[in-house]
Structure 1
Amino acid sequence: MKLLRVTTVALSLVLGASGAKATDWTAYTYSSVSTTAAVKGMTRIAEKVSEQTGNDLNIKLHLGKTLQIASSDITQATGDGIVDFAADYFFSGSVPIARVLNLPLLIENDAEWTKAYAAMEPILKEAFAKQGVVYLGGYRYPSQVFFTTFDMKSLADLKGHKIRVTSPEQGHFVEAFGGAPITLSGSEVPTSLERGVIDGVLTASAGGAKNWHEFLPYNYRFPVNYGNSVIIANADSYDDLPEKDRQVLSDVVSAEGPAITTAFNEDEIVQMNKQRDAGMKIVEVDQSELPEARRKMAAYWEEWAADKGPEYVKALKIVREAIGK
């Protein structure tokens, strides 16, 4: 009789554990192309989280344009609980202080990025928390460089040309050298190039140029800035998870964010070679242009921060001290 009672209790515990309801999350990414390093990375995150939580947390990823969420509204949609989990490249409207990391020529190489990002991370967590989301990590694209319909060999060649940018800071750089910045969604770029609405774009070989290269015969590899994405979760959805599942999610994102960055850097070389082989004229950066461009932009960094307020001045100072600029 005693053995029967023990067996019954044990069985009820097993059934109770196995009968626990799984948590299903809706995830969204701005990218609509499943073959990009970004989407592959988000897919790995979903798969690993499901596996490592024993299917307690299942994440269904939706690609860009498959949900009625504008690219510029992803952070807000996550905070509002429309989605539980997301990758957002266009978060700067919701969390503008994060644009410190995207200021032209402030961060110029991998080592500087690593130091600057680590210094900014506490600020990012606090800023995203105010939007009702939990900042979990992120990844970075390669340097944003010029792809154009006109032969570009120096910054002087920008004069009079219309360039698609993804931030006001990129726009300032274009204007500083005589160009006209234009903001468009990614889906508008091919048609705008065909119609002459724009004469070029700032992107990476492994970024927009991967899809638009047929419209862009020239590439001047002046490194204006880095673009980055954040990986975030709705705060309520995150808080409702068991602690062990939160830890799994955080650990997986922490590992996959840098892996996506590495994949992008590797793909940058592959895509650049493919684009060259397909006939794109690629011109390496003229090193003599860098000192003057840095001088112009350094003054802009300070003006930009001062105009936006003390917390921006503080954030810029933290980043500059971290990278020694």
Structure 2
Amino acid sequence: MIDLRAILREPWAAFRGLAIGGLAATGFTMFAASASAAEFEWRYYSVSPLGHPYSQILDKHFKEIQKRSGDKLKIDLVYFGETPYKGAEAEKLMRDGLGEMTEWLVGYSTSTYPLLSAPELPFLPTAAMKPADQIPALDKAWQSPSVAAELQGILDRHKAVRLSRFYWPPQNHWLNKAIDGPAGFKGLKIREYSAEGIDFTTAIGATPVSMTAPDVYAALQRGALDGVVTASTSMTGIKWGEVLKAGYITNFKLTISLILVSQREYDKLPPDVQKILTEEVNKATDEILAFMVDNETKLHEQLKKDYGFTITYAKPEDYTALRKVAQEAVWPAWVNRVGPEVGKPLINDVLTALGAPERL
């Protein structure tokens, strides 16, 4: 059984929000604040809305925090899409005191912090891995000395602390027709969202297309796109499965989200509430990861049954061929992009953590 406890967690890191004492109205007393408001009221900024399974799991454990703390700490889940802020600003919200707790999907910020792309470069593992096996492998990659030091420096500058982490489902190619190997990519127009993904798409003979998520559905409908790189949940969660027909499964990377808290706000919490917060958030991220592992294969079956999808799992030799493309066309380009003096140690640390033999 895999250990879904957080290798990335900082022990006992959390924090507190706005202290609300009592409520009063001009000219007369309303009612005791203790009966209606928590002592500490926080906002948690989430990448996904409350209808998403991940957010529902987090919200359930936030309610348990309020219950276990005797109403001392209340955490409201707020979707980034319903605020003036963006997911790529998550760590800045901590620095600027604009929130007490947030999710930081690190991949959103790699244009600002390109060194953090190291654990999420395509095809780093030597063979295709199931999500259950990818989780501990990627934990090791994020824990590797160079990567951990780079990430910690960013968090320190923003006065933010890692409380826990979770991963999104594996990234794969979802297409308007089935392919049975790397040659099938040639000539396809594929939506990508990262510089490294664009490099890889070009190297396999396809045409990369940069496009915001809200525009993808219509582009697929009119043939401006032939496919996308995304997680399986996009097929049902944002309905792309209605305009696609197939999945080519390599599980070539996982994308991480960190749960951040403000050190300043954490220090205001009583020790017993700190402990409850950490315990429940850890339980939540364990549950998210277990859900992801359990749900991935089920979702593939649902896509076949309800959407008529063809799901093709890459042969080992095809994975090896695609990995060679990434090794030759993508990894060195990223090293040059960030600078060899820092890029090489980072990627080599990650490869070592993953048990891969290559070194740049």
1:99 aligns with 2:128: no
Q: What amino acid does structure 2 have at the position aligned with 1:304?
A: W
Q: Verify the 8 A CA contact 2:90 2:104 in the aligned structure 1.
A: yes
User: Residue in 2 aligned with 1:317?
Assistant: 348
Deviations 1:205-242 (A, max 9, x none): 23455432111111111332212222112343334333
* Higher-RCO chain (CA-CA 8 Å, sequence separation at least 6): 2
Aligned to 1:240, the other structure's residue is in SS state: coil
Deviations 1:93-151 (A, max 9, x none): 44433221111011453242242233355543332232342222211123211111233
Q: Verify the 8 A CA contact 2:204 2:325 in the aligned structure 1.
A: no
Q: What amino acid does structure 2 have at the position aligned with 1:270?
A: K
Moved more, 120-129 or 273-282: 120-129
Pick the aligned partner of 1:32 from 17, 24, 49. 49
Q: What amino acid does structure 2 have at the position aligned with 1:153?
A: D
User: Residue in 1 aligned with 2:290?
Assistant: 262
Identity across matched positions, percent:
22
User: Residue in 2 aligned with 1:225?
Assistant: 253
The structural deviation recorded for 1:78 is 3.8
Query: How does 1:34-73 map onto structure 2 within 5 Å?
Result: 34-36=51-53, 38-73=54-89
- Distance (Å, rounded) in 2 between the aligned partners of 1:241 and 1:290: 49
Distance 1:80 1:320, change over 3 A: same
Distance 1:318 1:246, change over 3 A: farther
How many matched pairs?
Answer: 307
Distance 1:289 1:21, change over 3 A: closer
The structural deviation recorded for 1:188 is 2.8
The structural deviation recorded for 1:22 is 0.9
- Distance (Å, rounded) in 1 between the aligned partners of 2:222 and 2:263: 43
Q: Could you state the TM-score of these two structures normalised by the residue count of structure 1?
A: 0.83
- Distance (Å, rounded) in 2 between the aligned partners of 1:31 and 1:303: 32
User: Residue in 2 aligned with 1:22?
Assistant: 39
- Distance (Å, rounded) in 2 between the aligned partners of 1:170 and 1:94: 16
Superposition RMSD in Å: 2.6
Distance 1:80 1:198, change over 3 A: farther
Q: Could you state the TM-score of these two structures normalised by the residue count of structure 2?
A: 0.76
Pick the aligned partner of 1:116 from 141, 150, 154. 141
Aligned to 1:134, the other structure's residue is in SS state: strand
Distance 1:84 1:146, change over 3 A: same
User: Residue in 2 aligned with 1:296?
Assistant: 325
User: Residue in 2 aligned with 1:15?
Assistant: none
- Distance (Å, rounded) in 1 between the aligned partners of 2:266 and 2:116: 22
- Distance (Å, rounded) in 2 between the aligned partners of 1:318 and 1:117: 9
Q: What amino acid does structure 2 have at the position aligned with 1:259?
A: E
The structural deviation recorded for 1:276 is 0.2
Query: How does 1:280-291 map onto structure 2 within 5 Å?
Result: 280-291=309-320
User: Residue in 2 aligned with 1:200?
Assistant: 227
- Distance (Å, rounded) in 1 between the aligned partners of 2:277 and 2:189: 42
- Distance (Å, rounded) in 2 between the aligned partners of 1:264 and 1:306: 34
The structural deviation recorded for 1:87 is 1.7
User: Residue in 1 aligned with 2:161?
Assistant: 134
User: Residue in 1 aligned with 2:14?
Assistant: none
Q: Verify the 8 A CA contact 2:124 2:252 in the aligned structure 1.
A: no
Pick the aligned partner of 1:79 from 88, 95, 100. 95
Q: What amino acid does structure 2 have at the position aligned with 1:97?
A: L
Hey, which of these two has a bigger chunk of helix by percent? 1
Distance 1:48 1:33, change over 3 A: closer
- Distance (Å, rounded) in 2 between the aligned partners of 1:66 and 1:58: 20
The structural deviation recorded for 1:64 is 4.0
Aligned to 2:169, the other structure's residue is in SS state: strand
User: Residue in 2 aligned with 1:161?
Assistant: 188
Deviations 1:8-61 (A, max 9, x none): xxxxxxxxxx7996111111112136132x212321342232233322221100
Q: Verify the 8 A CA contact 1:141 1:265 in the aligned structure 2.
A: no
